Structure 1
Amino acid sequence: MGCGPSSEANEQFVRLVFTTQPLTECMCCPGLKQVNGMIPSWLPQASYSRILEICAPYHAWIYCQMDCCGSPVCENPFEQANAPLQQLKKELPSYNFGFSAEWIGFGKNANWQHVLEIRPGMAVGQVVGIEAPAQGNM
């Protein structure tokens, strides 16, 4: 059984992988998977901490988290109404967020893994592609 994707950070993006609590104890511990790499400077500690706080539901136990032949019995609760993702976009509009949910494992050891990808957005007030007109000699 693989344990799915891992958390990763580099200068282009930060990917956070949250593992939900499976029905039984297994190799894949619930919570945020250890981040490989350094959190980039464009994501300050205060923003990173707030992201982790908002994302707490992503690693909580999910009712009806059962496996049937390698597929989940019930759909992921974040597929339709993803309140944490909407809150992230509202509170931290200077970042671009992407989300996916992956069903990992088989039988009693299966669980959801929620993947949040964070990329820097355009800074507020930043103007791109405009140059000052050239000053001619009079």
Structure 2
Amino acid sequence: HSRSPGWGFCALSPVLLSLLMAAPLGLLGEETRQVSLKVISNRLDFSQNLLHIRAVGTNSTLHYVWSSLGPPAVLLVATNTPNSTLSVNWSLLLSSDPDGGLMVLPEESIQFSSALVFTRVRRLGEIRGEECRGEGSF
């Protein structure tokens, strides 16, 4: 069983490495954060959802948004206010022109944003060269 380039156990893509290195910059000066998790479902199709992880500090907020729409994806947004919020417009988000479908408000508070799309997801056994049992994948 051959492995594809970049799928070794320790291989990190440049984008993922950049995201992981940049994320802690949003934590500078903050000792504690109030963390909350919220599943935001499309009321018309409950299989379409977002996971919003919000970490509020004294002077800033980190928003992590995980998506199950299309390929798995994560968005990281750091703001300079503890009052920033996530706005979801499902009609726009699911349209052919999704601009404005997912917004962190107020927009002028955004200090950093980055996204990562997982274009290929494999089962753990496939990575190890083992045969996987069952239909589930992650």
Q: Considering the TM-score relative to the shorter chain, is it more than 0.5? A: no
Higher Rg of the two aligned structures: 1
Give the TM-score of the pair, scaled to structure 2: 0.29
Give the TM-score of the pair, scaled to structure 1: 0.29
Structure (1/2) with the larger strand percentage: 2
Bigger relative contact order (CA 8 A; separation at least 6): 1
